[in-house]
Chain A
């Protein structure tokens, strides 16, 4: 029998207000310094896990965070028009993917992903937020209640699918024979 349980979880949220962005890219700089080896020893915005998508000719300033790696390109592309400005779909997509050269280490090509400046001891706020004095980036920790389904273990899942496929009787017989052989 599977039971649902309520769990409390802290979700780290960076709020992005694109109207407040002044385009200084301090977020990119501090991010690259934090993730340098040794820490803070170098800067290189090309290695940042945040990227200001910028089109100054059309007043577009979108700070975008690096998300999951994917090895597949999108099949199609959408173009969004918001308040008269046209944005490529990639403007909002966090993936490190084959169709663009960012969110990848420029030397190794390995994907980069925002880790919210995971540190020991933990930082009060991710560094990009600390460096953003104009409050385009702000940080919040939100307590969320999550319904969590207690999932059956792996073996049970496997057995269930076997039963579905071959019927209980056949599975039981096989199981008895295998256990006899094992003994």
Chain B
């Protein structure tokens, strides 16, 4: 009997219509856990570097996390993994709600999509019954509209739907996959659209088993209270937006408006929110109601969390009402609320600069908010200049030309970054921006605080309560001089800890909002010290902190290897150009050198044979040597550039 996982993947070839239920190797759980980890193994094995993201051979993998559908609270984040056409690299996203656990109850750990359907289809998966169905009646429909249609059509309100909107159908690079209150963004929706899959509807009524029932249940029952008491939903529940409006950059990630926020604004915006607010809601088996349902007049209702409330407003220099209004539309089109506002603001800048003209944008409105709505319609339909803009800032800049490339200032590895403009170079953050494989800093950061508490006693009090931190990091934190950067070796260790926690979360399916992302605030309910017990009791794996850390390192390295094989090298590891005013080339070089060494990578950023073999990734080192990416364990002679 398999515990925590179902032991089966669903393989669907959309070109041939072939559907298979395939038993998985239990050893994969031991090596990669599940979710993102086991998905990476499949991508390595089956999607070679020669595969064009828009070809039939690219895979789109939907994975439940290892702990989904066990009693472990807040295990909600399903993982979507593929190769992105935007970056040419590994692309990964997560979404919560109910979908991942429902997949487990239907009897599968993953859905692996290959090929392309001839026309628009949706998948209907009800336990062992799996059908590829015509979706021509859903073409052009919004994401939530599609979900509502399918629930009615399939006559079951408990059917869980993940769908793309018009943006995904038209392979817009910023398109997302939407489900209930959550979206998988960061470049996975366009691949679903390319495969011509409008939606996946799931219904599962099978048992999912755990290894140590009574002990696990007792632990989980106590964990409900821990999670609730730590209360991580503050940002969504608060009307005080000082943090986001003062810290994040406005417009096209250009300008910080310190002191923008005040009491009057708070009252004014709170009034708007109260008038459209419907309910706070949570994902499956999670007591943190960090999503807010909003119903804006004339729009379908939608959910947002945290900074999602303001990304469009700040990019357009508008207010919260504008954000709610446009989100009612963008959620239906299925668009990433981090990258899309930047593309829209980028287009506005190009117009102001005369690079885009009235010929490109006939009747372009004066008002920045109206401009956003105008551009949105062009992008989701790939009309006119919208066709270039639909490829994101990096590619649009190069397609438009005429100096537009100069405006591409906030991408890393061709992907839009969070709009931030800061002063002094932050060492751990430099490393995370430069080397991260998850494309958005929020998916990499979070365990180590961003600032040292100046008062030593208060800092000590923080550390005393800091159950998530291994002792090494308590020491680093206590010795950290406020307003200075930690030593280079400490910065490397911090970056490593931060990302390690996310690699664990994303393979077991726990939401970073109760784990990796919240450690910096002393509010993580899951951490390296208690994770092994949850995973062991649920899955039966023998696990301690070291072994778990090593597993996360294996997953991180394997994903690194996928990107290396697709041509990614050290020269690609650059944070957004103007992210920090201060740049220190010598220190930055040292940071990267030390980080690579710490990770067991050579100076080109490729894992060494020794490190790969040590991690049980001998099949990667063999492939690298065969391809000439590694010569024995020395640096790479192959100087390919990114795809």
Contact = CB atoms under 8 A, between A and B. Distances in A.
> Is B truly associated with A?
yes
Contacts of B280: 22
Interface stretch (A54-62, A113-121, A142-150, A156-164): A54-62
Given A42-B208, A44-B207, A45-B105, A23 B148 contact: no
Interface in B190-210: 204-210
Contact of A42 (B180, B207, B279, B289): B207
A22 B289 contact: yes
Say whether chain B's binding surface is mostly helix, strand, loop, or mixed. loop
B283 A24 contact: yes
The 4 closest A-B pairs by CB, nearest first: A46-B205, A40-B213, A133-B228, A133-B287
Given A33-B217, A36-B207, A43 B70 contact: yes
Interface string B105-142: 10000000000000000000000000000000000000
B510 to A, nearest CB: 15
A90 to B, nearest CB: 11
Contact of B105 (A46, A127, A134): A46
Contacts of A24: 281-287, 289
Contacts of B225: 133
A39 B283 contact: no
28 contacts: A22-B281, A23-B282, A24-B282, A24-B287, A24-B289, A25-B284, A26-B285, A33-B213, A39-B213, A41-B209, A41-B213, A42-B209, A43-B69, A43-B208, A44-B105, A44-B205, A44-B206, A44-B207, A47-B207, A54-B157, A55-B157, A56-B281, A57-B147, A59-B278, A131-B221, A133-B225, A134-B282, A134-B289
Contacts of B446: none
Interface in B242-289: 278-287, 289
B229 to A, nearest CB: 9
Contacts of B156: 101
Interface string A11-51: 00000000000111110011001001011111111110000
B287 A134 contact: yes
A53 interface: yes
A29 B105 contact: no
Contact of A40 (B98, B206, B214, B293): B214
Contacts of B208: 42-44
Contact of A29 (B148, B157, B207, B285): B285
Nearest to A105: B205
B39 interface: no
Contacts of A101: 156
Contact of B224 (A38, A45, A46, A131): A131
Contacts of A138: none
Contacts of A38: 213
Interface residues of A, number: 33
Given A40-B213, A106-B205, A133-B228, A59 B285 contact: no
Interface of A: 22-26, 29-30, 33, 36, 38-47, 53-57, 59, 61, 101, 106, 127, 130-131, 133-134
B613 to A, nearest CB: 39
A43 B71 contact: yes
Interface centre among A36, A44, A53 (most CB of B within 10 A): A44
B216 A53 contact: no
Given A40-B214, A44-B205, A133-B225, A33 B98 contact: no
B532 interface: no
A29 B71 contact: yes
Given A24-B286, A45-B158, A56-B180, 11 more contacts: A22-B289, A24-B282, A39-B213, A39-B214, A40-B71, A40-B210, A44-B105, A45-B105, A46-B105, A46-B205, A59-B301
A127 B224 CA distance: 12
B110 to A, nearest CB: 19
B304 to A, nearest CB: 14
Contacts of B204: 46
A43 B210 CA distance: 9
Contacts of A26: 73, 224, 285-287
B144 interface: yes
A96 B302 CA distance: 33
A182 B284 CA distance: 70
Contact of A133 (B207, B210, B224, B279): B224
Contacts of A53: 157
Contacts of B210: 40-43
B354 to A, nearest CB: 45
A18 to B, nearest CB: 10
Contacts of B281: 22-24, 56
B331 to A, nearest CB: 13
A158 B207 CA distance: 50
A151 to B, nearest CB: 43
B279 A22 contact: yes
A24 B286 CA distance: 6
A59 B293 contact: yes
B146 to A, nearest CB: 11
A128 to B, nearest CB: 11
A3 B181 CA distance: 60
Nearest to A19: B279
Nearest to A51: B158
A180 to B, nearest CB: 64
Given A41-B209, A57-B301, A59-B278, A25 B98 contact: yes
Contacts of B157: 53-55
B94 to A, nearest CB: 18
Contacts of B293: 56, 59
B322 to A, nearest CB: 23
A42 B217 CA distance: 10
A44 B209 CA distance: 9
Contacts of B71: 29-30, 33, 40, 43
Nearest to B231: A133
A89 B156 CA distance: 16
A41 B215 CA distance: 10
A40 B217 contact: yes
Contacts of B70: 43
Contacts of B144: 57
B72 to A, nearest CB: 10
Interface in B127-176: 144, 147-148, 156-158
